Structure formats: C-alpha cells, structure tokens
C-alpha cells in the first residue's frame, strides 16, 4: 500500500499554499475510516484509506484544486483477495461571492483499481461538478458531479462540513459516493467517509 508516499505528497503541498494568503486556500490531510468498493464483480466494505486535498485561489473567484487518495481493502470476492483503489484529481473552478456561495469545478480524474489476481488497471478522464458552500470559516458544503473515466461514467455526490478551531486550523468530515457504470452494466462504485484536519490560508 502506498500510504507513506501519499503523506509525503501532502507535506509537499503545504509550502505551495502557505505563500498564497488568499480566500479559500487550504490543505486537508485526512483518513478514510469507512470505505466500500465494488469493482470487477467483487465487493468489500472492509477498508481504510488516507488522502490529501488542497485548494488555492487564483483570483477573487477562481481557484485550483488537487487531491490524492489511496484506499486499501480486504476480503474481496470468493478468493478473499486484497485490493487497492487510488484516486488522483486536479482541476480548476470558480466560487461566487455572497452568503450562499455556489461553485463549479472541472477536474482531471485518474482512478486505479488493483485487486490481487482479479483486476489491475488505471483509467483517466474528467469530472464536472456543481456545488454550494456556506459562509464563514465553519460551514457546510455539498456538490453533485458527473464523471467520465475510461469506459465508465456516472454520478458522484459529496456533502460535509468544516469546523474551524481558529482562522488557521480546523477539521472536516465529508462523505463521497461515486457510482460509475459501463454501457454493458458493469459497475465501479466507491463510497468514502473522510475525516481530517484543515490548514487554511487566508479568510473568506
């Protein structure tokens, strides 16, 4: 499992964001204590993951966002195989001003699935999302999106909240459900509960 390399990538993101004292600039370091995977006609709800996400402002309303996440699973299929799902995302978006802040996000998405003796592959594509977040350092957020990755596509839902300890540090909890399907009906589904720490740079 490549968890140490994920954490190393996360630490590399901090200096880049530290110099950008702008609205909606942050780094998230998180765990995935509950995750479920369904792929290659096998499934498991016994898994754990880690990840990092960053966003930094490009202007008053524009931002760039990136994410890397690795989940490990046990007990996949009749062979009781181990598996891993790796997600890499990078994109740009806009965030409106006001009390109800609406945002859009277009991102490159790479999804890799590795199941011992069953599947081993990685596909790339894009995601298009529309979301809303509350005002202030502590807020709720949610988004709905469409993903097209290789020969699968489908909807993705995400919702959660941020609680700020102070202007710099806080924590977040969110849930993301990704449902992808081929034209022949084969499904790739990943559901994650994510809990982590947030380091913010700048204020709303």
Backbone angles phi, psi at 118, to 5 degrees: -125, -50
Q: Residue 160 has which token pair?
A: 């959660």
Residue 79's SS3 state is coil
Which pTM value belongs to this model? 0.84
- CA-nearest of 154, 174, 149, 162 to 87 is 149
CA distances from 175 to 33, 63, 95, 147, 172 (A): 11, 22, 21, 17, 10
What structural domains and CATH numbers belong to the chain? 3-201 (2.40.128.100)
Tens digit of pLDDT per residue, the chain (204 long)? 454 454 445 445 444 443 433 447 999 999 999 999 988 788 888 899 999 999 999 988 899 999 999 999 998 877 788 999 999 999 999 988 776 689 999 999 999 989 887 778 899 999 999 999 988 889 999 999 999 999 899 999 999 999 999 999 999 999 999 999 987 668 889 999 999 999 998 654
- How far from the centroid of its chain's Cα atoms is residue 8's Cα? 17
Distance in angstroms (rounded) separating the CA atoms of residues 29 and 11: 9
Distance in angstroms (rounded) separating the CA atoms of residues 66 and 53: 6
The residues near 155 (Cβ < 8 Å, ≥ 6 apart) are: 144, 145, 146, 147, 179
């Amino acid at each position: 499992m490549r968890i140490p390399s994920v954490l190393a990538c996360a630490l590399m993101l901090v200096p880049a964001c530290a110099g950008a004292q702008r609205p909606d600039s942050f780094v998230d370091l998180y765990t995935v204590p509950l995750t479920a995977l369904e792929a290659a006609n096998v499934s498991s709800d016994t898994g754990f993951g880690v990840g990092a996400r960053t966003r930094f402002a490009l202007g008053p309303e524009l931002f760039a966002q990136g994410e890397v996440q690795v989940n490990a699973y046990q007990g996949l299929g009749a062979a009781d195989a181990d598996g891993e799902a790796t997600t890499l995302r990078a994109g740009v978006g806009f965030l409106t001003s006001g009390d109800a802040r609406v945002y859009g996000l277009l991102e490159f998405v790479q999804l890799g699935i590795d199941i011992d003796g069953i599947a081993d592959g990685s596909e790339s594509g894009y995601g298009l999302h529309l979301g809303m977040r509350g005002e202030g350092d502590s807020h709720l957020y949610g988004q709905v999106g469409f993903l097209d990755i290789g020969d699968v596509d489908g909807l993705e839902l995400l919702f959660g909240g941020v609680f700020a300890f102070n202007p710099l540090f806080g924590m977040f909890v969110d849930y993301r459900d990704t449902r992808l399907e081929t034209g022949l009906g084969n499904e790739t589904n990943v559901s994650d509960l994510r809990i982590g720490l947030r380091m913010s740079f700048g204020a709303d």
